[in-house]
Amino acid sequence: MKLATIGVGNAGSKIVDRMLEFESRTDRNLCQHVHAINTARTDLAKPDYIPEERRILIGDTNQKAKGHGVGGDVEVGAEVASADIEEIRRAFDDIEIHEVDAMLVVAGLGGGTGSGGGPVVIDALQEMYDEPVYGLGVLPGEFEGGRPALNAARSLQSFVTKVDNFIGFDNDAWRAREQTIEEGYEQMNRELAARLVTLLAAGETDDSEVAENAMDSSDIIRTLDTGGVSTIGYAATQVDNEAGEGLLDRWSGDQTTQQDDGSNATKIQGLVRRAVNSRLTVPAEISSADRVLVVVSGPPSEFSRKGIESARQWLEQEADTVEVLVGDDPRKQSPQLAAAVLLSNVTETPRIEEIQNQAVDAQEKIAEQEAVREEEINDLITDENDDLDPVV
Ligand code: GDP
């Protein structure tokens, strides 16, 4: 599949940057078009791979932002994006729509710019183009506190209702205790990029006449067509890749059958199981998935029709759905065999419920504090018997 990928806010832009890095490292070509949109000038300077001319600063004339970000205020994030929507739309006019199959809007939901601005950006894309618009949203860690949880719970509602499918990433599930927060983010962004790109880049080159089980973009779109919240699992293994061997030699006539031996089948089946049982981008009950898609990516010499078929049968039972697609994505030069599993429209995701509870508590506390504060200010400036009047 080919994408127009838009990172909104700091986390969104960093993740898109890592996707581009992974693509260039693995010789893929998923993101045909990219943009980073931010309210903070310093954050916009950070990406290594997003071209300078694709970075859009919004809200620089807004009194509350002025190029320094929105201080985690989701309302200001939305306000600033709406005020600069014409500039954003002009940038999206450049999208060569015949070159992309879908759009992906990436944002951290706990802050202000991505959380508030992301849904505004999605609206613009939905109005401008008929192609599906997907969202990728990062759920904040519990340790960040009530305000990020409140931003995330509210933004999640907007994202999920506006996009064609929402892929979640849970920072809590991916946090390693021994790392600093920044180191942790860096590693999470790389892990997430590997999953997204391995999954979504399938079918980006038309190798379908070579690989009989090739996955293509219409399979991915169909799986994501459920709406709702989705999650991704992943596993990879190193392979001895004699890349010079030639794709066609391996896949012509009877040789295919010879290569499709038991050991490849076992390897593929084991890899798919590992991917499904791996840490998902958002932990979820597998059997609550509506549809499932698996991309097995690597050198075609490692593929096995038998392995794919048994993985599909196993998954049908595991996910308790007949809507399971398993296919391959030939990468002749790849030193790895990887399986990326998309569980679409999972309805049992405990972390989302936790965030909602944390958000409700935070909202109540904020309202209480506001009421108390008003009273306290009043007490402070009023004399004991209320004898004094203000000047004007
Ligand atoms: P924004 O620029 O106002 O949208 O805010 P940020 O993107 O800086 O942060 C929003 C949320 O994203 C934070 O509350 C964190 O939960 C998360 N976050 C920030 N940076 C990263 C990152 O690099 N990776 C990941 N996975 N999460 C991040």
Give the domain CATH number at 76.
3.40.50.1440
> Are both 184 and 286 inside the same structural domain?
no
Which is nearest to 237 in space by CA: 165, 178, 288, 298? 298
Ligand 1 atom closest to 115 (CA): 4
> Are both 59 and 182 inside the same structural domain?
yes
> Are both 265 and 195 inside the same structural domain?
no
pLDDT in tens, 280-335: 999 999 999 999 999 999 999 999 999 999 999 999 999 999 999 999 999 989 99
> Are both 122 and 239 inside the same structural domain?
no
pLDDT in tens, 9-37: 999 999 999 999 999 999 999 999 999 99
Task: Please state, in angstroms and rounded to a whole number, the distance separating the CA atoms of residues 202 and 215.
Answer: 6
> Are both 196 and 301 inside the same structural domain?
no
How far out from the chain centre does Cα 344 lie? 13
In angstroms, the Cα distances linking 177 to 109, 180, 370 are 22, 8, 35
> Are both 106 and 177 inside the same structural domain?
yes
Q: Where are the alpha helices (DSSP H) in 138-261?
A: 146-162, 171-174, 181-200, 217-224, 247-250, 253-259
- Ligand 1 pocket by Cβ (under 6 Å): 9-11, 14, 70, 108, 110-115, 138, 140, 144, 148, 171, 185, 188-189
> Are both 17 and 99 inside the same structural domain?
yes
pLDDT of residue 245: 46
Last residue of a domain, one of 344, 360, 382: 344
Which is nearest to 353 in space by CA: 279, 285, 289? 285
Measuring from atom 9 of ligand 1, which residue has the nearest CA?
Answer: 111
Count structural domains, the chain. 2
Furthest C-alpha separation in the chain: 101
> Are both 239 and 177 inside the same structural domain?
no
pLDDT in tens, 207-261: 555 567 889 999 999 999 999 999 999 999 999 876 544 444 443 333 444 455 6
Tell me the binding residues for GTP.
112-114, 144, 171, 189
Calculate Rg over the CA atoms of the chain: 24
DSSP E strand stretches across 253-345: 291-298, 324-330, 336-344
pLDDT of residue 243: 56
| Paired strand residues for 295 | 327, 340
13 in any annotated domain: yes
Tell me the mean pLDDT in the region 356-365. 96
pLDDT of residue 177: 84
> Are both 178 and 255 inside the same structural domain?
no
> Are both 233 and 193 inside the same structural domain?
no
> Are both 77 and 141 inside the same structural domain?
yes
Q: Whole domain around residue 109: which residue ranges?
A: 3-200
In angstroms, the Cα distances linking 76 to 45, 63, 64, 71 are 21, 10, 7, 9
Mean pLDDT of the residues in the chain? 92
* Phi, psi for residue 109 in degrees, rounded to 5: -90, -10
Whole-number Å distance, alpha carbon 339 to ligand 1 midpoint, is 27
pLDDT of residue 257: 44
Q: Indicate which CATH number applies to the domain containing 266.
A: 3.30.1330.20
